[in-house]
Amino acid sequence: MASKTDMPAPVCLIENRQGKLLVCPEALRWLSQIHQPVVVVAIVGLYRTGKSYLMNKLAGKNSGFALGSTVQANTKGIWMWCVPYPDRPDQTLVLLDTEGLGDVEKGDTRNDTWIFALAVLLSSTLVYNSMGTIDQNAMDRLHYVTELTERIKAKAPSGKNAGGLEDSAEFVRFFPTFIWALRDFTLQLELNGRTITEDEYLENALKLKKGDTQEVNLFNLPRKCIRLYFPQRKCFIFDRPTQRKNMHLLEHMKESELDPDFVEQAGQFCRYVYWTSKEKTIPGGHVVTGRLLAKLAESYVESICSGKVPCMENAVLALAEVENSAALGQASARYVELMEKKLTLPTETTQQLLGIHAECEKEALRVFMDRSFKDDTRHFQAKLMKTINEKKEHYCHQNELESRKCCEVVLTSLSQELDNKVQEGIYSRPDGYKCFVADLKKVEERYRQEPRKGIMAEAVLQEYLKKKEDVGRTILQSDKNLTEKEKEMAEAKAKAEAAERERELQKQQMAEQQQKMEDLKRSYEMNRQELEEKMKRERELLLEEQQKMIESKLAEQEALLRGGFEKETRRLNEEIQHLQQENSKIKEPSWLASLVGGLLSVASLFIPPLRLLKRF
């Protein structure tokens, strides 16, 4: 679903007020209007390193995010700017500018790591902005990355691992692409007398030292974390944009007034971010919209403020609960909307109504499937089946009422002459019974010829004729032209005809019940097939996600093996084998069958007649 985003300026998404993080309602309102997938680019780094300038360039503006022109940090908390994505009309670009890390004026810098962790959790592309070169001081300042295992959990605690790098094996599944932006870079990109690229410079800076001393471990830790958590890495270097004395005027300067090399470098950076950044997803491959991003931000900040560690698995489960409830409501509303548009009551047959119902149910199910995710117990899909079935029954009841009204109006009009004759005693004469039967037959024939009476036509006629039985019996007994034998035969004939009409009516009602049962079967089969198709798509996404993890770990394993890091290589090999075993299970037919097979059991709790399908 398309959605228009027209944010004239950034707004605060997460406020950092006196060391406490708060989600800002205005930002949530903006995000809730975005039903498109979002690409989230966040930038982090030390204060006064020019982060905001790069984010303004990504927004296609010279100003917006506050640049600041003093030694004081300008951005507090996390600020957000939602802009149309260049050349991607079906996506929205969400830019997150974070407050500068390491601001000495804060006094208490404990929540710097929370700001960093939130940027990681919310983004699909993370830009780390720093000044100068990647030396040990730069690595030491990036200690936030080493604390991520204490600030983020991929899964709810299971007692298997207490923490450390082992617990972070799942991070690759949902961590963003990593870009290191080096500002005011003055070195020549050379290594051992050979010109190298920015990426080669970064990878060389991330090389590990051999050894097991405390000094070596401290040296390796941030490098290990970057290598393991962010297998997709990129580096950009930037010259100083202008002379130091003009830096405070940067947002007011034209590109022609800036250093040409810096302008070109900034352009390359923006083009790379535009071309390579992907939609924000959560584990399982479900694409995040602006609405979901708002709920994620709320969930993470709520965890932090309550003293807990944000857990991706818990956040996704909570998000799924909210989204699946909303998907159920949206799909139900869509069904009613379509039924009200397409259905004209009364219908001539039950099958006609069920045909329209089937069309509307199919569209409602599509709406549900598009929005719902991680409905592992099929509880919400079963509730949708129940809700739509109840609404169908409501329309069937309304159809009967409308049909009954039409039939009664027709019969009232057609039987007026007959009723007048009865009241005037015209049939109370010799051969009166014969005339009464003939007139009643004419009413019946004319009634059957009337169109658009609906599904209650036979039932209402049967009720009418039943009411006339006593009248006919009275007229019969008073007819002096008939012998007792003839009266007995006439009464027997009337009873036989009434019994035959009753049998035909019961046959019709049984046929309608069978049609409804067949419709339930059709509904279940449609739900099962749609679920199976969705599970197949999700399986492909999961396998793709797993394969991405395997490839990144294989690449890291190969690099570690070349460096002689056998212990780390063995650990990675265990993770790779575990992922490969998971892949084998996921590819088995039984894996898919187990996910789809439970739908009937759950749905039959809501719709008892579905239990009959278990026999087949």
Three-class HEC string of 454-496: CCCHHHHHHHHHHHHHHHHHHHHHHCCCCCHHHHHHHHHHHHH
| pLDDT range class, residue 2, cuts 50, 70, 90 | very low
pLDDT digits (tens, 9 = 90+) for 397-449: 999 999 999 999 999 999 999 999 999 999 988 889 999 999 999 999 999 99
User: Is it the case that residue 3 has pLDDT exceeding 90?
Assistant: no
Cβ neighbours of residue 106 under 8 Å, at least 6 residues apart? 19, 112
pLDDT for 70 equals 34
Q: Considering Cα of 410, then 412, then 418, then 420, what sign does the dihedral take?
A: negative
**H or E stretch covering 377:** none
Using CB atoms within 10 A of its CB, is residue 61 exposed (0-12), middle (13-18) or buried (19+)? middle
pLDDT for 247 equals 53
Q: For 451, list phi and psi in degrees, rounded to 5.
A: -85, 170
* 46-60, 191-205, 485-499: segment of lowest average pLDDT: 46-60
* Token couple for 353: 């109504």
Cβ atoms of 183 and 57 within 8 Å: the answer is no
* Token couple for 508: 């019709």
pLDDT digits (tens, 9 = 90+) for 482-523: 888 988 998 899 899 999 999 999 999 999 999 999 999 999
d(CA 525, CA 538): 20
pLDDT for 245 equals 55
Instruction: For residues 186-211, give the mean pLDDT.
Output: 91
Using CB atoms within 10 A of its CB, is residue 600 exposed (0-12), middle (13-18) or buried (19+)? middle
d(CA 238, CA 269): 9
Q: For 101, list phi and psi in degrees, rounded to 5.
A: -80, 145
User: Is it the case that residue 561 has pLDDT exceeding 50?
Assistant: yes
159 Rama sector, left if φ>0, alpha if ψ -120 to 50, beta otherwise: left
User: Is it the case that residue 75 has pLDDT exceeding 50?
Assistant: yes
Instruction: For residues 154-172, give the mean pLDDT.
Output: 62
Instruction: For residues 341-356, give the mean pLDDT.
Output: 96
* 166-175, 200-209, 288-297: segment of lowest average pLDDT: 166-175
d(CA 389, CA 517): 11
pLDDT for 241 equals 79
The residues facing 39 across adjacent strands are: 93
| pLDDT range class, residue 222, cuts 50, 70, 90 | very high
User: Is it the case that residue 140 has pLDDT exceeding 90?
Assistant: no
Distance of CA 563 to the CA centre of its chain: 44
User: Is it the case that residue 164 has pLDDT exceeding 70?
Assistant: no
Instruction: For residues 129-157, give the mean pLDDT.
Output: 87
* 3-12, 130-139, 196-205: segment of lowest average pLDDT: 3-12
User: Is it the case that residue 58 has pLDDT exceeding 90?
Assistant: yes
* Token couple for 595: 């996910």
Distance of CA 476 to the CA centre of its chain: 71
Cβ atoms of 558 and 298 within 8 Å: the answer is no
Cβ atoms of 528 and 604 within 8 Å: the answer is no
pLDDT for 591 equals 86
Cβ atoms of 414 and 406 within 8 Å: the answer is no
| pLDDT range class, residue 71, cuts 50, 70, 90 | very low
Exposure letters 309-331 (e unless 16+ CB within 10 A, then b): ebbbebbbebbbeebbeebbebb
**H or E stretch covering 445:** helix 432-449
Identify the CATH class of 11-153+169-310.
alpha beta
pLDDT digits (tens, 9 = 90+) for 80-129: 999 999 989 999 999 999 988 866 555 456 678 899 999 999 999 999 99
pLDDT for 251 equals 59
239 Rama sector, left if φ>0, alpha if ψ -120 to 50, beta otherwise: beta
Cβ atoms of 300 and 355 within 8 Å: the answer is no
Cβ neighbours of residue 55 under 8 Å, at least 6 residues apart? 41, 43, 64, 65, 81, 95, 97
pLDDT for 161 equals 45
Task: Quote the mean pLDDT of the chain.
Answer: 88
* Token couple for 247: 């830096």
Specify the DSSP class assigned to residue 310: P
Distance of CA 214 to the CA centre of its chain: 47
Percentage helix, strand, coil for the chain under 3-state DSSP, each rounded to 5: 65, 10, 25
| pLDDT range class, residue 563, cuts 50, 70, 90 | confident
- At how many degrees (to 10) do helices 457-478 and 379-414 cross? 40
d(CA 394, CA 231): 56
Distance of CA 106 to the CA centre of its chain: 39
| pLDDT range class, residue 150, cuts 50, 70, 90 | confident
pTM of the entire predicted model? 0.85
pLDDT for 127 equals 97
d(CA 430, CA 433): 8
Instruction: For residues 458-487, give the mean pLDDT.
Output: 91
Cβ neighbours of residue 75 under 8 Å, at least 6 residues apart? 51, 52, 65, 66, 68, 97, 98, 99, 100
User: Is it the case that residue 267 has pLDDT exceeding 90?
Assistant: yes
Share of the chain above pLDDT 70, in %: 91
Instruction: For residues 67-89, give the mean pLDDT.
Output: 72
- The domains of the chain are located at 11-153+169-310, 418-512
d(CA 336, CA 391): 8
User: Is it the case that residue 163 has pLDDT exceeding 50?
Assistant: no
Q: How many Cβ atoms are within 10 Å of 369's Cβ, its own excluded?
A: 20
pLDDT for 159 equals 45
User: Is it the case that residue 464 has pLDDT exceeding 80?
Assistant: yes
